[in-house]
């Protein structure tokens, strides 16, 4: 089904924002009630209609828009008396009113406005129909909204009142919709408790009080108070130390917040001026060579057709529209060079494919939501090896190259090394009107600084210059075919982070080093006994793979002196790079036992650890890549 197709019965989620509407929206997708009209899926023209609704309160254009969709979530469907007009226009429709404890809703909404809507306070005030955004006014609006809707639909059988916070989920929703429940956990999107204790912890600069339970002593360490390990702590002897000062710990914890504040404060400064000049093409990065800075026509890759090929993959569990746009831009850039590019796309359940069909595409379908990137790349790599390609590049689907001659330069580099990163410098794009940050290839950083594990926190001087300390392990790699014939990529990192594991295994001189093995340990050390949780089975599995990979690479690793650009796809802090690994240790993840493969050779769950499955899925559905 696509926009424009007539549908028989529509389902509208009309609860107030921050009551579980995003979770219900995801449920409606999983139940096949698509297309869905929700934040992130509407077109630019649709958003113009919503803007106009605030101005003239004319519901007709929005009602006409609803003709094209089967399910609905969020604004504008939950605005004012919209539900009355929707019921009159579509009399056979069903309505879902998401409920929540009023105090919890108010705390969550207050935080949401402060973080995501500081420039839209007037509009949100109009949405709530209140004279101000005081607690009293907001709670009055909340109760009025729920009361008026409940009274309007009383006795009709068209309304479901559901409280996700109270544990209600698939059973109640599917019974109301008369649909079978899908075989997956309930998707709690943006779930975050908002009681007084959590709010106090947040105001003190910490995080929610959901600390890490030490496997040894049983002490619970709050991540915001713990000392981060591995990447973030540096010691001259062991690579691990503690921050002795409470002020330093607080500074380290608040660096992401400080970083955003500094960017805001520099909006009218020379850095902002540089950014606009940079956007206008009037300045280039100071580290670019003259050849890179010069205007280039897009050369076509004309070497031996079997010499080099590219593989990339696309899977999108949150159905992010930004990821779709980014990938299409990435793919167009690769195609413009003339190099062969194979795309492996994976969708979940009955969801529709989001990329165009083509002869250079592999289309797969699975049910298990997890990090499939390296597995999909391996599927594509095996096909390219079978087709006889001698050099294979694997790229993230959200980058572009400044130099359009990059396929030739990568192919040339692989004449002297077995494995290489495809860039020396990366420009990492932030939200609109924020200056980009500049990072260095992890391989380049290692070759120049001789530091493999030391990834220093961003310091103030580097932050002011827009540079990231340490090396970047992701974005894009290339290898000779003989390497990949001996050992494929590590594809058991089910919450992500595979690039870093591959990077470390390629360069580590001593894989018995404590720091190397700590790559599969918790990033939070117990503040009482300094123990780091781990899954011993996961660690053993990775170390076995790393031995084989290192032997295939044979320490012949380099990088190509190119500059790439990363396309923005959500805030980095929402990806929870440190916290996500705790899922593996909490559930004692064992790749040999907990994973299997399905008939399409995709990863599938091999055990019945429902809590593990739910936590992994919830992590990906909450990454907010369209924010």
Mean pLDDT of 295-304: 56
Q: Rounded to an integer, what distance in angstroms lies between the CA atom of residue 28 and that of residue 170?
A: 11
Q: What is the pLDDT of residue 577?
A: 67
List pLDDT tens digits, range 93-127: 999 999 999 999 988 887 766 544 444 566 778 88
Mean pLDDT of 272-278: 46
Q: Do 151 and 214 lie in a common domain?
A: no
Residue 37 has pLDDT above 90, yes or no: yes
Residue 350 has pLDDT above 90, yes or no: no
Helix (H, G, I), strand (E, B) or coil at 280: coil
In a domain, 17, yes or no: yes
Q: What is the pLDDT of residue 475?
A: 95
Under DSSP, the state recorded for 189 is: T
> Per the structure block, which two tokens stand in for 326?
């980014």
Q: What is the pLDDT of residue 47?
A: 82
Q: What is the pLDDT of residue 586?
A: 86
Q: What is the 3-state secondary structure (H, E, C) of 354-415?
A: CCCCCCCEEEEEECCCCCCHHHHHHHHHHHHHHCCCCEEEEECCCEEECCCCHHHHHHHHCC
In a domain, 136, yes or no: yes
Beta strands, E only, 422-490 = 425-428, 437-441, 467-472, 476-480
Q: Do 440 and 587 lie in a common domain?
A: yes
Helix (H, G, I), strand (E, B) or coil at 572: helix
List pLDDT tens digits, range 400-448: 999 999 999 999 999 999 999 999 999 988 776 667 788 899 999 999 8
The residue out of 246, 263, 280 marking a domain boundary is 246
Q: Rounded to an integer, what distance in angstroms lies between the CA atom of residue 514 and that of residue 287?
A: 35
Residue 378 has pLDDT above 80, yes or no: yes
Q: Give the containing element (helix H, strand E) for 343.
A: strand 340-348
Residue 457 has pLDDT above 50, yes or no: no
Mean pLDDT of 73-101: 95
What is the residue whose two structure tokens read 């009023």?
102
Residue 77 has pLDDT above 90, yes or no: yes
Q: Do 146 and 204 lie in a common domain?
A: no
Q: What is the pLDDT of residue 83?
A: 96
Q: Do 588 and 506 lie in a common domain?
A: yes
Confidence of residue 277 (pLDDT cuts 50, 70, 90): very low
Q: Do 385 and 511 lie in a common domain?
A: yes
- Please tell me the least confidently modeled range out of 553-557, 567-571, 580-584: 567-571
> Per the structure block, which two tokens stand in for 204?
């003190």
Cβ(475)–Cβ(422) below 8 Å? yes
In a domain, 257, yes or no: no
In a domain, 189, yes or no: no
pLDDT: is 250 or 587 the higher one? 587
Most trustworthy range by pLDDT among 176-190, 245-259, 613-627: 176-190
Cβ(231)–Cβ(247) below 8 Å? no
> Per the structure block, which two tokens stand in for 175?
């019974």
Question: Of 378, 414, 383, whose CA–CA distance to 498 is shortest?
Answer: 378
pLDDT: is 625 or 118 the higher one? 625
For the domain that residue 89 is a member of, what is the CATH number? Answer: 3.40.50.300
Q: Do 362 and 296 lie in a common domain?
A: yes
Q: Do 482 and 379 lie in a common domain?
A: yes
Q: Do 201 and 171 lie in a common domain?
A: no
In a 10 Å sphere around its CB, with 0-12 CB exposed, 13-18 middle and 19+ buried, how is residue 327 labelled? Answer: buried
User: Domains in the chain: how many in total?
Assistant: 3
604 Cβ partners below 8 Å, 6+ apart?
366, 367, 368, 595, 596, 597, 598
Confidence of residue 128 (pLDDT cuts 50, 70, 90): confident
- Please tell me the least confidently modeled range out of 173-187, 443-457, 584-598: 443-457
In a domain, 548, yes or no: yes
The residue out of 134, 149, 177 marking a domain boundary is 177
Q: What is the pLDDT of residue 163?
A: 96
Q: Rounded to an integer, what distance in angstroms lies between the CA atom of residue 182 and that of residue 26?
A: 12
In a domain, 187, yes or no: no
> Per the structure block, which two tokens stand in for 338?
């003339």
Beta strands, E only, 538-622 = 557-559, 563-566, 595-597, 603-605
Q: What is the pLDDT of residue 285?
A: 46
Q: Rounded to an integer, what distance in angstroms lies between the CA atom of residue 614 and that of residue 627?
A: 23
Cβ(75)–Cβ(51) below 8 Å? no
Q: Rounded to an integer, what distance in angstroms lies between the CA atom of residue 156 and that of residue 179?
A: 19
Cβ(397)–Cβ(453) below 8 Å? no
Q: What is the pLDDT of residue 356?
A: 84
Q: What is the pLDDT of residue 123?
A: 75
Q: Do 312 and 210 lie in a common domain?
A: no
Q: Do 148 and 210 lie in a common domain?
A: no
Residue 206 has pLDDT above 60, yes or no: no
- Please tell me the least confidently modeled range out of 20-29, 39-48, 156-165, 200-209: 200-209
Mean pLDDT of 168-185: 92
Mean pLDDT of 457-465: 43
Mean pLDDT of 264-292: 45
Residue 485 has pLDDT above 50, yes or no: yes
Q: Do 457 and 594 lie in a common domain?
A: yes
In a domain, 576, yes or no: yes
Please name the residue ranges forming H helices in 154-308: 170-177, 196-203, 246-253, 255-265, 270-279, 290-293
Q: Which domain holds residue 346?
A: 288-621
List pLDDT tens digits, range 608-617: 999 899 888 8
Residue 181 has pLDDT above 60, yes or no: yes
Which phi and psi (to 5°) does residue 573 adopt? -65, -25
141 Cβ partners below 8 Å, 6+ apart?
128, 129, 130
Question: Of 374, 298, 293, whose CA–CA distance to 335 is shortest?
Answer: 298
CB count in 10 Å sphere of residue 495: 21
Beta strands, E only, 473-528 = 476-480, 521-525
Q: Are strands 159-162 and 94-98 parallel, antiparallel or unpaired?
A: parallel
> Per the structure block, which two tokens stand in for 314?
């696309």
pLDDT: is 306 or 250 the higher one? 306
- Please tell me the least confidently modeled range out of 41-50, 57-66, 253-262, 360-369: 253-262
Residue 601 has pLDDT above 80, yes or no: yes
Q: Is 269 left (phi over 0), alpha (psi -120 to 50) or beta?
A: beta
Cβ(100)–Cβ(165) below 8 Å? yes
In a domain, 364, yes or no: yes
Please state the separation of Cα 99 from the chain's center in Å. Answer: 27
Mean pLDDT of 173-182: 94
Q: Do 381 and 529 lie in a common domain?
A: yes
Query: C-alpha distances in angstroms, 242 versus 230, 439, 618?
Result: 11, 26, 32
Helix (H, G, I), strand (E, B) or coil at 72: strand
């Amino acid at each position: 089904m696509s926009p424009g197709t007539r549908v028989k019965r529509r389902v509208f989620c009309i609860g107030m924002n921050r009551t579980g509407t995003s979770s219900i929206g995801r449920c409606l997708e999983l139940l096949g009630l698509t297309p869905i009209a929700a934040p992130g899926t509407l077109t630019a023209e649709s958003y113009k209609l919503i803007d106009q609704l605030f101005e003239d309160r004319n519901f007709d254009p929005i009602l006409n828009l609803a003709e094209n969709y089967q399910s609905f979530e969020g604004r504008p469907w939950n605005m004012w008396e919209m539900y009355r007009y929707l019921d009159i226009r579509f009399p056979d429709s069903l309505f879902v009113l998401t409920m929540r404890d009023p105090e919890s809703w108010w705390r969550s909404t207050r935080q949401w406005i402060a973080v995501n809507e500081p420039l839209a306070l007037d509009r949100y005030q109009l949405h709530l129909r209140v004279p101000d955004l005081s607690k009293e006014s907001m709670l009055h609006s909340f109760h009025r909204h729920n009361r008026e809707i409940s009274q309007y639909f009383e006795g009709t059988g068209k309304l479901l009142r559901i409280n996700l916070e109270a544990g209600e989920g698939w059973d109640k929703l599917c019974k109301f919709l008369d649909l079978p429940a899908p075989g997956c956990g309930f998707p709690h999107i943006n779930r975050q408790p908002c009681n007084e204790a959590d709010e106090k912890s947040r105001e003190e600069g910490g995080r929610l009080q959901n600390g890490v339970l030490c496997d040894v002593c049983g002490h619970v360490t709050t991540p915001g108070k713990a000392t981060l390990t591995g990447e973030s702590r540096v010691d001259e002897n062991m690579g691990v130390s503690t921050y002795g000062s409470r002020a330093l710990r607080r500074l380290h914890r608040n660096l992401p917040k400080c970083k955003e504040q500094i960017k805001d404060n520099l909006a009218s400064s020379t850095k902002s001026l540089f950014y606009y000049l940079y956007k206008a093409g009037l300045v280039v990065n100071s580290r670019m060579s003259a050849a890179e800075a010069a205007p280039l026509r897009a050369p076509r890759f004309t070497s031996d057709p079997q010499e080099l090929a590219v593989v990339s993959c696309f899977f999108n569990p949150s159905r992010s529209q930004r990821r779709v746009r980014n990938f299409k831009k990435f793919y167009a850039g690769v195609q413009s060079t003339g190099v062969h590019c194979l795309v492996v796309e994976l969708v979940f359940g009955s969801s529709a494919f989001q990329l165009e069909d083509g002869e250079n595409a592999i289309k797969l379908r699975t049910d298990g939501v997890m990090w499939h990137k390296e597995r999909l790349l391996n599927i594509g790599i095996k096909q390219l090896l079978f087709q006889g390609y001698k050099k294979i590049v694997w790229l993230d689907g959200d980058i572009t190259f400044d130099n359009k001659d990059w396929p030739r330069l990568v192919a040339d580099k692989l004449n002297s090394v077995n494995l290489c990163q495809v860039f020396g410098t990366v420009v990492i794009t932030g939200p609109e009107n924020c200056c980009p940050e500049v990072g260095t290839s992890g391989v380049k950083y290692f070759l120049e600084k001789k530091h493999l594990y030391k990834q220093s926190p961003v310091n103030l001087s580097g932050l002011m210059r827009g540079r990231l300390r340490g090396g970047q392990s992701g974005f894009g790699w290339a290898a000779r075919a003989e390497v990949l014939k001996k050992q494929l990529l590590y594809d058991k990192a089910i919450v992500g982070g595979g690039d870093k594991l591959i990077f470390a295994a390629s360069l580590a001189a001593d894989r018995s080093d404590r720091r190397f093995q700590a790559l599969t340990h918790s990033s939070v050390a117990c503040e009482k006994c300094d123990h780091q949780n781990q899954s011993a089975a996961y660690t053993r599995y990775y170390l076995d793979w790393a031995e084989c990979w290192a032997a295939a690479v044979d320490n012949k690793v380099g990088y190509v002196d190119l500059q790439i650009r990363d396309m923005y796809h959500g805030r980095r802090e929402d990806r929870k790079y440190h916290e996500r690994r705790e899922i593996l240790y909490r559930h004692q993840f064992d790749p040999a036992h907990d994973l299997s493969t399905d008939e399409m050779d995709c990863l599938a769950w091999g055990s019945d650890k429902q809590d593990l499955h739910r936590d992994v899925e919830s992590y990906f559905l909450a990454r907010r890549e369209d924010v």
